[in-house]
Amino acid sequence: MNRLILIVSGPSGAGKSTLLKALPEEEFYFSVSHTTRKPRPGEINGKDYYFVDHKTFLEMLERGEFLEWIEVHSNYYGTAKSEIEKAFSQGKHLVLDVEVIGVSNLKKYFGPIAISIFITPPSLEVLESRLRSRATEDEEKIKERLNRAKLELTYASFFDYVIVNDDLEIAKEKFLSIVRAELCRPFRVKF
């Protein structure tokens, strides 16, 4: 089993999704989460998220179909176990983009085959300006996200790796280097 499970987290607006999109699709399978939040303009069901209503989400939850789930801003987010199986059957590295709070449980669940990566903006000031330039949310939502980011940053030191997403190319190279390095772990190398 030479595939990695990459648990990625970090504040909204850190440039996580841009970074993840820059990674080669032939090597990485990006887990699609279920969510009860409304799609943003341009977001596609089944690609960005599986957009479901509260009733559907809670039914899946009851049937134990989620690997992890969380409630944020009155909406549910969850990773369905079926997504994991999809990734493994394609022989790709699995990338799980999850909320900070869910990382510790996932690490315990997967054991040493999973590594956690925290993606952070260079500073809270940069994060604020990114959130404002996005211009999809009102002032209250931005403030809520910034407060949340401050909290999330306090978790960073518990991750295996931290990538400061300042320059996209450098951040991408760091991500790929982490993957290459982890593939050199003794239990993954044939010799």
Q: Which residues of this chain interact with a copy of itself, rule CB under 8 A?
A: 117-118, 120, 122-123, 153, 156-164, 173-174, 176-178, 180-182, 184-187, 189-191
Q: How far is the CB of 114 from a copy of itself (least distance, A)?
A: 15
Three-class secondary structure assignment of 93-108: EEEEECCHHHHHHHHH
Residue closer to a copy of itself by CB (options 44, 181) is 181
Residue closer to a copy of itself by CB (options 47, 180) is 180
Q: How far is the CB of 9 from a copy of itself (least distance, A)?
A: 13
The answer to whether 94 and 3 are in contact (CB under 8 A) is yes
The answer to whether 29 and 119 are in contact (CB under 8 A) is no
Radius of gyration for the alpha carbons in the chain, expressed in angstroms and rounded: 17
Half-sphere exposure of 29 (CA within 13 A, CB side): 18
Residue closer to a copy of itself by CB (options 63, 180) is 180
Amino acid found at 138: D
Q: How far is the CB of 191 from a copy of itself (least distance, A)?
A: 5
